[in-house]
Structure 1
């Protein structure tokens, strides 16, 4: 411990006199503060949008319901009454919103929340035409990414570590102090390890300081204490992994220039080259085209004009949904045309479901393959862990889509019940307007432990190899 304190005091003096490293640290802190601001601004805009559409949707629904009391002696009043009274028109004009609320930690790791839709207007019409109406992917956003805190940690923190540690050993040799260190009673590899631990302490303090600011600035609630703990553990593990990699670079006893180039090469490999190669490899796989899928849904055979064709459509519909077939056929036949069209729309969705499920399965399979390969890449692995923690990854986007599908079924039932019963809507019906309830957040503790396990495994292997070189080769060579 005394040795470590002495070496730490020496490194601290050198740090306070090295204005270049001070500037680098200041730039890093400024970048982190801007990233925190950026993440808050993005999520604030999303929350403002959510509040606006909720207010507007409530006003639109109230306006439509008022049509039940409209003056039908005027053309405008009659039109308003028909929109509210006829279930066939309610299923089209009464809109609802499915909303994916941002999790508290999404302010620190936006993930795919700016690419995947976080809200979707819905009615009881074709589900998949509405689902694919929103933008699935924005190439510009995918290319640029988000300058949030996770970006700073994943991309910029390793550069800061490189600037601290690329010359742990080579600097002593180039300054001519290495022979003096060799004659000390302390093994040389202990000195190098102590220097690395000092800089690890500096980096950890800086990381935790910035993270603390982020938690306070973002207003992270106390209820998210476990998520905050996971965030600190994941980011610190990522930091230790990079220190292990830099220790291994130093263990090869090359010049400072070579160490710097080698370290930057490792950074490029993990953060640019490997992700690009993986995306290129899996992009070349044959995958379903969402545009073609939407065209397929639109090209479904139209509803026949004859009564017999409509009866056949209704018969197929009743086989799938017998609860809507009423014994009072005279009353039910009141909206025969609208019933046939609604049945046709529902059957169209049912026919498209296998193709849609196949498309999403291919997207999911591709994601799973890339995630499996990324487990050995500390940068991609850590980014995935932070997205899981912030509920801003593809897994949560898929959960949101499943919630939309379930909600659409409730919307259809809301208008189908009076439509197929052959009655008009009443005020009592509108007291039971469906409300979207998202699925509970995914419990991804297993995925977090798995990702952390791979990160620790890579760190342990790297440290073992570096320690071997430092202990058994460094001290034995002049």
Structure 2
């Protein structure tokens, strides 16, 4: 019977031109979403490649300055500047780069809002990026037309269009009694028809995802673990919607009532509930504008520079006792390297606390939003897909923390040369500190927990539909 129903549904689908065109429309929309994500990621990769190419060009020039021709005026200038820390940092500053993940073309997340590279200098001010706020206006608001958007928003609509009249149509055409006379439980037939539609949409979602994986492999190395988690996640989400459809279908209402109920639930899960949860989170955990941090930077810069030189130098050696043996009376002179080092050190310490206070707001908001997302499978799926693609706010905050930690490392590295009044050797130049982004710990475990949540709530909905024994 299972095979018979599947063959019948295939023939029925082939005869229904409108449904065939509708499925084709959603598939083309999915293809475009993959293309849009590919184009967006390619643009960021081109920018990153340009930064790295420019850095390597300047680096080779810095290396060549160590062997510059001193018989010429220009060559003598380059040779004299070779290895000077301030010159190296000015001409060729380091970049901390947040590269796209292999699945990021399928779920752009917040990469369109958050900076994906930062300049590393001794001015450890931590005012990263130019955006005033580092969170989307709405967690599920339409921003980028990526595959995650198609799966979360559009495919449930296709599922509703294909299944809302699975049972009611049989009753309205009075074929339900005829099927019941065949000696097979009518409910099983309806279940098989729903399974067919679930597999149809699931195969389409998998096919679009695989196309996305192949497209992404032309830009970024393929990550099979992320691909498997992605397929499991979208399958769990679609299964959730078919569980809801199964529950509504068993109410034995008319086709019009089923369509209204399902569209109402779609609006509730994808529009009303996300907006309500987002409003609550923003009400209790608002994020101040970054302009406050920029103002604090300007005020602290002026205040630190205005300090008496002796007080500034004393504060520096108090905070950095390892340099006390290098103290000399000339440290307080107008253009002393130690005075500038002391200025950047104290400014960095003050701004560290300012930005630490600022960063607690997006972290608290993200934690609250993540906690409240458990009440809405649609929002939770968005978090899961962004987590797999490493494009969520949590991933950016982790990157920013690592940038701040590396910037402190860079300051300490350069200060050793500046305070000791030494130049970098050619070997030192070849072994400069490098920023390497570390992956989030236990990320896959959290994603698997979210997938189990989606499957769990889906089975619970099916259990309720069967438990109520709504007669078919």
TM-score, structure 1 length as denominator? 0.89
SS at match of 1:8: helix
Q: State the match for 1:298 in structure 2.
A: 298
Report whether the alignment pairs 1:421 with 2:420.
yes
- Provide closer, same or farther for how the CA distance between residues 319 and 401 of structure 1 changes in structure 2, counting only shifts above 3 A: same
Q: What is the CA distance between 1:337 and its match in structure 2?
A: 2.7
- SS, match of residue 124 in structure 1: coil
Residue 245 (structure 1) shift: 0.6
Q: Give the structure 2 partner of residue 97 of structure 1.
A: 95
Q: CA deviation at 1:11?
A: 2.1
Distance 1:394 1:305, change over 3 A: closer
2:461 pairs with 1:468: no
Q: In the alignment, which residue of structure 2 is the partner of 1:315?
A: 314
Counterpart in the other structure of 2:159: 161
* Aligned pairs, number: 467
CA offset at residue 273 of structure 1? 1.2
Aligned counterpart, 1:365? 364
> d(CA) in 1 for partners of 2:33 and 2:206?
15
Q: Distance in 2 between matches of 1:313 and 1:89?
A: 24
Give yes or no for contact 2:37–2:108 (8 Å, CA) kept in 1. Answer: yes
CA gap of 1:79–1:128, structure 2 versus 1, over 3 A, is farther
2:197 alignment counterpart: 199
| Cα deviation digits, residues 167-209 of structure 1 (max 9, x gap) | 1111112222123234342222222212111212222222222
The C-alpha deviation readout for 1:237-256, integer Å capped at 9, x for no partner, is 11111100111111222221
1:137 positional shift: 4.2
User: In structure 1, how many angstroms separate the alpha carbons of the residues matched to 2:205 and 2:96?
Assistant: 37
TM norm structure 2: 0.90
2:33, 2:145 within 8 Å by CA — same for their partners in 1?
yes
CA contact (8 A) 1:335 1:422 kept: no
Cα distance change, pair 42–456 in 1 and its aligned pair in 2 (3 A): same
Matched, 1:445 2:444: yes
Asked if structure 1 preserves the Cα contact closer than 8 Å seen for 2:310 and 2:332, the reply is no
1:98, 1:141 → 2: CA distance?
28
Q: Distance in 2 between matches of 1:152 and 1:46?
A: 22
| Distance in 1 between residues matched to 2:93 and 2:71, nearest whole Å | 23
Gaps of 5+ in 1: none
Partner residue in 2 for 1:183: 181
- Aligned-partner SS, 1:357: helix
Partner-residue secondary structure (3-state), 2:209:
helix
1:381 aligns with 380
Report SS of the residue matched to 1:302. helix
CA 1:157–1:62: 2 relative to 1, 3 Å:
same
Equivalent position SS for 1:98: strand
Could you tell me how far apart the structure 1 residues matched to 2:58 and 2:266 are?
52
Q: C-alpha deviations, 1:295-333, integer Å up to 9, x for none?
A: 112211534568xx2222122222222233334637978
Return closer, same or farther for 1:298/1:83 CA change in 2, 3 Å cut-off: farther
CA distance, structure 1, for counterparts of residue 39 and residue 416 of structure 2: 43
8 Å CA contact 2:216, 2:222 repeated in 1:
no
CA gap 1:72/1:323 in 2 versus in 1, 3 angstroms:
farther
Distance 1:215 1:88, change over 3 A: closer
Equivalent-residue separation in structure 1 for 2:131 and 2:51 (angstroms): 16
Structure 1 residues 450-461: aligned runs within 5 Å: 450-461=449-460
Residue matched to 1:107? 105
Tell me the secondary structure at the aligned position of residue 437 of structure 1. Answer: coil
Contact 2:85–2:424 under 8 Å retained in 1? yes
Deviation of residue 235 (structure 1)?
Answer: 0.8
Q: CA 1:195 to 1:85, structure 2 compared with 1: closer, same or farther past 3 Å?
A: closer
CA contact (8 A) 1:116 1:397 kept: yes
SS where residue 96 of structure 2 aligns?
strand
Q: Which deviates further from its counterpart, 132-141 or 315-324?
A: 132-141
Give the one of 53, 57, 69 matched to 2:55. Answer: 57
Partner of 2:234: 235
**Larger CA deviation: 120-129 vs 96-105:** 120-129
Secondary structure of 1:121's aligned partner = strand
Residue 19 of structure 1, CA deviation: 0.7
- After superposition, give the CA deviation of every residue in 1:426-469 in whole Å (9 maximum; x if it has no partner): 44442332222222354312211221222122201211122234
Q: Are residues 423 and 164 of structure 1, via their aligned partners in 2, closer, same or farther at CA, if it must alter by over 3 Å?
A: same
Q: Which has the higher helix share?
A: 1
The answer on whether the counterparts of 1:91 and 1:125 sit within 8 Å (CA) in structure 2 is no
| RMSD of aligned alpha carbons | 2.9
Distance 1:44 1:324 in 2: 47
Q: What CA distance in whole angstroms lies between the structure 1 residues aligned with 2:428 and 2:463?
A: 69
Greater shift after overlay, 430-439 or 273-282?
430-439
Unaligned runs of 5+ in 2: none
Aligned to 2:435: 436
Match of 1:48 in 2: 46
